[in-house]
Chains A and B, each alone.
Chain A
Amino acid sequence: MKKSLLAIALLTAVFGATAPSLALAKDVEILNVSYDPTRELYVDFNKAFAAHWKAKTGDNVSVKQSHGGAGKQARAVIDGLQADVVTLALAYDIDAISEKAKLFPKDWQARLPNNSSPYTSTIVLLVRKGNPKKIKDWDDLVKSGVSVITPNPKTSGGARWNYLAAWAYALKQNNNDEGKAKDFVKKLFANVPVLDSGARGSTTTFVERGIGDVFISWENEAFLALKELGPDKFEIVVPTLSILAEPPVTVVDKNAKKHGTEAVSKAYLEYLYSDEGQDIAGKHYYRPTNPKYAEKYASQFPKVNLIKIDDVFGGWQKAQKTHFSDGGTFDQIYAK
């Protein structure tokens, strides 16, 4: 018995001498499962965080990114995608992970400031240069002959924000008449020729493939299109009303614990709230929640009358059930 113990100790010593890198665990990798348009944001942010983490702990952290429609991404995590953190388009999809996979507690949104949304955004309308269809507001999108590009609300978080923004506009225009709002959104989706599964796909459809007259877009995605392709090709139209989109983030506790990445995952999300994190968000046309950086970037964002989902739709759970669950209003209005 003693010899066995001695041997185990020797094995440990031999192994420790031959594979020091394992014992010290200097290289750390985490997976950030995010929604479609955040690719560029997290490329920059990951570099900044890696430098910060290296300086703080000496460890090398590598952040892998996965992007897609928020609903699809949430489903992938529920089905086993080993996300250490999720940074999705809306709270409902993260709620679904908590509820169905039980990978973190239900009150996850209370763990970080601003309901765990380090940045916000909104929905705007992107049109072709010169605005040939003279689109000014949501009601122009239901006119005959106007081709509208938006992703599928069943799979895309951004599309759900689009849909609800249009619905909120119609309610306001029609004295909160739900029937008229439903009819309005039905007409709008009748003008949608292609439903992509995510916002980035819709950007491709509108910007690269030249399809459609107007693209209902994340604000940051619209600015990105202008920046990448030039203001001589597109224009941003700010509607009279839009919706405050609050993309939230959380650590996937059980996955991070399994990977031994709890501390770095938590620090990664907390760093989104840091000065550097907020600055990077602003540079990528997300609206920082830190007042200092909100002010710094205020001039680049248009003034919009923003409604909140809690105020108009009673929160995400109710909105999801009413509009996007199987048999919900979207299924009723959209003929495949």
Chain B
Amino acid sequence: MQFKFSKFATALLASGIISLPITASANDSSELEELRGLVQELSQQVKVLARKGEINEEAAAADKKATPVVKAGTSGFSFGSADGKNEIKFRGVLQADHRHFSDGANDVRNRSATRAGSLDANGFHDAEDTSLLRRVRPTIEGKVAGKYGFRFTPEFAGGSASAVDAYVDANLSPAFKIRAGKQKSIVGLERLQGGGDIKFVERSYVTNAILPNRDLGVTVSGDLFNNTLNYGVGIVNGVNDGGNISTGTEYNGEREYTARLFATPFKDSDTALAGLGFGIGGTWTNYTGERNLDFTGTSAADATRNGLPSYVSDGQQTFFRYNSASLADGKRIRFTPQASYYNGPFGLITEYARVNQDVSLLAGTTTNTATVISPNTNKKLSHDAWQVAASYLITGEDASFRGVKPKQDFDLDKGGWGAWELVARYSEINLDDDTFRNKAGTSYSTNTYANLSESAKSAKSWTAGVNWYLNSNAKIALNYSHTSFDGGAGVGITAVNAAGTNIRDRESENALLARFQVAF
């Protein structure tokens, strides 16, 4: 400022504005003194103006700190307080899918020997090509007072609205966060990946079949040891394998306990192991079979409340379901070792999951009947699944557990082609052979827990695909999936014989799954 003023004064002198008196009366000391005073006065005035400018800028900066912040970008739309402690965000994901089946049978739930139409020799319809909205999920999430938050995500796909996520958070510290409400299960690795971030059109058997999807309850989680170890524990209502609990009340009083540890010990290193993470998760519950039923309802209602799952193929066709007389009765224990690895454009996820499920058979009607579970039918069944999935970004972006940000957005005018990613996965699920036999293990035809003529014992899927990320928000995915089955159809739609020898394998499924997605 001092320097600027000197230049200013020099300029005044040089310009002649104040040079004439000097020239005219160079020896007049009083005029020189007057001139000096004038320059000093001007100096002060310039400094005052400059200082007032500074003060105004400081005031503007202070005002800005109190001005609410409105954001609109690839992560959604938000507005919040200037200090960031209070915020509301609007986000969403919309997925428009098309499924084309070149081979494959339709859902076993539609299997009927008496159904009109062209059935194959085993009583199956061909799987039907279809276009559908897979996910239509607007999200409102926010935080108040810095530490407390919420998320509400309804689902409008599938013909009816439901709440996918509806929970509140208390992020008391990075090491201690509480979440209560309907939320993702904490145990599965691929499940924790966002629906808009998954690498394949559908998740693997580990995630979709064995491990729980969403549940109601309370979880505590946090990051420890410089964020190299993430833990989570929870008490939830408990859901079927792959299940997404309703927001209604619990019908079985037993809670399910969940836990997971996931370590990323090298995350801050510069080594190739920086992107390695591994962990283990599990769930435990003990259902009382009779409480698992709706005594006041109809048998149809009971069928939806038997506490047991059905499993679907990569093409989302149900290939396994329990018999209607089966119900969960006893312990259900799941465990799932898991790992992920990311290095440059390469990514890998691998998971294994096993569920040990105690089951029994119903004696008959459940309405107003004192004893509904057949004695000596309780059995522990063990099903397992695993997957290994790899991805590679051929356009050079870094792979991550979250989404992909293209180096260049797709733009015909500017020549950008977005990000391109190749993906491949092998996933299989194997059901306990005892599922299809009676308690004694002597018959495949009577008092079994599932019908081998309808349901398969295993499914093995190869999936390959390409993801085209047009930008951070838009993605087109194309998967080709081949699934082979073991069992799942009776020869000539006849009943399975006691020895289980008149079984043929369900027709292999070849499906092309396409998706156009916008997520923000």
Chain A positions within 8 Å of B, measured between CB atoms, are 3-4, 7-8, 11, 14-15, 18-19, 21-22, 147, 193-194, 196-197, 201, 205, 209-212
Contacts and interface: CB of A to CB of B under 8 A. Distances in A.
Interface of B is mostly: mixed
Contacts of A147: 44
Contact of B220 (A15, A21, A211): A15
B175 A8 contact: no
A209 B50 contact: yes
Nearest to A152: B55
Given A22-B173, A147-B44, A211-B47, A194 B235 contact: no
A197 B175 CA distance: 41
B54 to A, nearest CB: 8
A193 B44 contact: yes
B176 interface: yes
Given A18-B231, A19-B176, A19-B222, A194 B51 contact: yes
Given A22-B176, A197-B55, A209 B231 contact: no
Interface in B271-315: none
7 contacts: A4-B235, A7-B255, A11-B235, A14-B259, A18-B231, A22-B176, A209-B50
Contacts of B52: 194
Given A205-B51, A211-B47, A211-B48, A8 B173 contact: no
Given A11-B235, A18-B222, A22-B172, 13 more contacts: A11-B220, A15-B176, A15-B220, A147-B44, A193-B48, A194-B48, A194-B52, A194-B55, A196-B55, A201-B58, A209-B47, A209-B50, A211-B44
B224 interface: yes
B257 interface: yes
B216 interface: no
Interface of A is mostly: helix
Interface string B171-199: 01101100000000000000000000000
Nearest to B224: A18
Given A15-B176, A209-B50, A3 B55 contact: no
B284 to A, nearest CB: 10
A11 B55 contact: no
Interface in B41-62: 44, 47-48, 50-52, 54-55, 58-59
B2 interface: yes
B17 interface: no
Contacts of B175: 18-19, 21-22
Contacts of A19: 173, 175-176, 222, 224
B370 interface: no
B233 interface: yes
Contact of A3 (B58, B224, B255): B255
Contacts of B173: 19, 22
B233 A15 contact: yes
A197 B255 CA distance: 60
Nearest to A212: B44
A193 B220 CA distance: 59
Contacts of A7: 235, 255, 257
A21 B173 CA distance: 11
Interface of B: 1-2, 44, 47-48, 50-52, 54-55, 58-59, 172-173, 175-176, 220, 222, 224, 231, 233, 235, 254-255, 257, 259
Nearest to A15: B220
Nearest to A81: B83
Contacts of A201: 55, 58
Contacts of B55: 194, 196-197, 201
A170 B150 CA distance: 61
A296 B176 CA distance: 50
B230 to A, nearest CB: 11
A19 B50 CA distance: 54
Contacts of A22: 172-173, 175-176
B51 to A, nearest CB: 5
B233 A210 contact: no
A205 to B, nearest CB: 5
B228 to A, nearest CB: 13
A301 B369 CA distance: 96
Nearest to B255: A4
The listed residue with most A CB atoms (<10 A of its CB), out of B50, B175, B254, is: B175
The listed residue with most A CB atoms (<10 A of its CB), out of B2, B47, B50, is: B47
A205 B176 CA distance: 48
A29 to B, nearest CB: 12
A144 to B, nearest CB: 12
Nearest to B256: A7
Nearest to B41: A145
A8 B178 CA distance: 13
A8 B47 CA distance: 68
B257 A210 contact: no
A19 B173 CA distance: 10
Contacts of B59: 197
Contacts of B255: 3-4, 7
Contacts of B224: 18-19
Contacts of A209: 1, 47, 50-51, 54
Contacts of B220: 11, 15
A193 B45 CA distance: 9
A201 B51 CA distance: 10
A18 B233 CA distance: 12
A37 to B, nearest CB: 17
Nearest to B257: A7
B429 to A, nearest CB: 30
A202 B268 CA distance: 47
A210 B47 contact: yes
A18 B2 CA distance: 60
Nearest 7 A-B pairs (CB), nearest first? A193-B48, A19-B175, A211-B47, A194-B51, A209-B51, A11-B233, A205-B51
A209 B51 CA distance: 7
B482 to A, nearest CB: 43
A65 B176 CA distance: 27
A14 B229 CA distance: 14
Contacts of B2: 210
A132 to B, nearest CB: 10
Contacts of A197: 55, 58-59
Nearest to A209: B51
A194 B224 CA distance: 53
A3 B235 CA distance: 11
A75 B51 CA distance: 25
Nearest to A1: B253
Nearest to B233: A11
A7 B259 CA distance: 12
Contacts of A212: 44
Contacts of A11: 220, 233, 235
B84 to A, nearest CB: 14
A196 B173 CA distance: 39
A210 B46 CA distance: 11
Nearest to A11: B233
A212 B47 CA distance: 10
A36 to B, nearest CB: 13
A7 B235 CA distance: 8
